[in-house]
Amino acid sequence: MAADPTVSTGDIARLGRVGRAAVSNWRRRHDDFPAPVSGTASNPRFALSEVEEWLRRNGKRYRLSAIDRAWQRLLSDGADFLLPERLAAAGAHLLGRHHPELAHLLPGDPPPLDDPELAALLDDVAARRGPAAAYEDLCARFRRPAGEPPDALATAMARIALPDGGSVLDPACATGALLLVTGTGAARGQEADPATARIAATRLLLAGARGATVAVADALRHDAFAGEEFDAVVSAPPVVDRTWPHDALAGDVRFAHGLPPRTEPELAWMQHGLAHVRPGGRVVLRLPGAVAARRPGRRIRANLLRAGAIRAVLTIEDEARPSDVWVLRRPVAGEQVPSRVLLGRGPAEEAAEMWEAFAGGDAVGEGARAVPVVELLDDDVDLSPEHHLQRRASAEAGRQVAELLATAPADLPALRLVDDVRNRPSATVAELARRGVLTVRHAPRDAATPEAGDGGAAVLTVSDLATGTVPTGRAAGAAPGRIRVRPGDVVAAPMGRARVADRPAVLGPALTVYRTDPDQLDPEFLAGVLRSTPAPGGASSRYGHRVRVPLLPIAEQRALGAAFRALLDAADTARTAAERADTLLRLGGEGLAEGWLRPG
């Protein structure tokens, strides 16, 4: 039996159609406002009946519908972690009351809804709106399981996976959001949590998918649909699941492209999906952005590319947490391996349009690029769209640059906006090193921390790069393994600091030196690119080898390098002036306060 429903301050605000601040004011100004009955000091909960009585007594207008009361009843019936069980029981009640012939299709053994008041509320809403709409309203209020995509993204994924309809499998279906938008009665799902699986099954059955089935088990451990093939697989697998059974899956036939490392469960889900689609069928997965570039997974990514299985990686820009939609396709025997992969970025709907253009052989438009597979098969096999697409200058950024240049010193370079920004050919620093265009050396990991002083060899440190290339550290003796920096070398620190050295020094800890062939690669141009390229997601301190350098004629490189250097010099001048002004403010203030300075 449920206790009296309780509400939070946010619930009270919605009930009274006011903001949270108004509720806080009511609590401070009215001594008769109900006292919390549960919760914490920072998140108190109040008895709903007491709040309603107080609102009526004080002439506050409020509205509480039957579905609102049902939801508050669900929230009040036990601990929060039991909410999925209670929501599943509410769904089973609605299904049993309105479609009793389908109740046996729910997975497991649903517990009865032991709350007559909640049952009456559900029946009241279902009588007026229908059982499917009533349950969808409750599910919309339920906090989505981690990783379950929002509605717009779920619709886009279904649009990519099943443009012409067909059978579909979601092997990690959570509450069934993706299966629901496919609009197919031949939907199959699998979910490890029994209560969440019952919620998904109930939503599908109430929506009319009478042939839908949801199995309860972890799909990687216990494949409920082993040997079955579908027209498409669409899923948003668990995020950062380090508990997947890596050791137990060695030799599993699903992993035809190799057993992924323990830290790469997402690559296991990709191959699980490919094993469950018919030849030519699509697998559409929503995965964290780091999956496209993590070094441990590069072998599997390369194998999937060579097989023609990876068709697109699309970064979804309107998500709170960056994520990518991967589109894979099971190769057809005897079919020519595709030569290009679509990499793009944009809101969910635009990503679907990019895919449709690419799949139809049309131009993919702004924000996307059909990248040759051979370009992706380098040492890193980095498939992140950000790594291969031209970064777009926003109108706001352009306006800010124009305003800053209007008030800047005359020695700054003249800069103008380019209307038609085109993707330029590029190569990673690692590729340029293999071609002999430059050499890369990292400071030894066990390099001793340099000391201040006048004796010993001059050592360039990370902090030196913030202000210039004058070495402030000193190293005594002639330690083995030291790396010498020459004038003209590019010295870079983790996460973006980079300058061209103007004097000899010893390379300090955590630094990297790039020595270029100046007839092929201008040092100032390289330093500017290193400074201006954001570090890839999940990158280590030695991420510079993955930075892409535009392949331009040496004359254009030198012109850009001079502009990069002029901007850096202007920033150095401004920083020095700000430091001098700060010192003058401090010392001048002391002198005026203590009497050893005076006006005039």
Q: What is the structure's pLDDT at 228?
A: 95
Q: How far is 448 from 495, CA to CA, in rounded Å?
A: 21
Nearest to 235 by CA among 106, 145, 351, 368: 145
Q: What is the pLDDT along the chain (600 residues), one digit of tens a residue?
A: 445 677 888 888 877 888 888 899 999 999 999 999 887 888 888 888 888 889 888 888 877 778 888 888 887 765 667 888 999 999 999 999 999 999 999 998 877 888 888 899 999 999 999 999 999 999 988 866 666 788 889 999 999 999 988 999 999 999 999 999 987 778 999 999 999 999 999 999 999 988 899 999 999 999 999 999 999 999 999 876 777 888 888 889 999 999 999 989 999 999 999 999 999 999 999 999 889 988 899 999 999 999 999 999 999 987 666 789 999 999 999 999 999 999 999 998 899 999 999 999 998 877 899 999 999 998 889 999 988 887 655 566 777 777 777 777 777 777 877 777 676 788 889 889 999 999 999 988 665 566 555 556 788 888 888 887 788 877 765 556 789 999 999 999 876 789 999 999 999 888 999 999 999 999 999 999 999 876 554 444 455 787 889 999 999 999 999 999 999 998 888 888 898 999 999 998 998 998 898 997
Residue 503 three-state SS: coil
Which residues contact residue 594 at a Cβ distance below 8 angstroms, ignoring those fewer than 6 apart? Answer: none
Contacts of 84 (CB under 8 A, 6+ apart): 142, 193, 195, 196, 199
Beta strands in 501-555, from DSSP E residues, in sequence order: 505-507, 512-516, 548-550
SS3 513: strand
In whole angstroms, give the CA distance from residue 19 to residue 529. Answer: 48
Domains of the chain: 6-50 (no CATH), 151-172+219-388 (3.40.50.150), 425-569 (3.90.220.20)
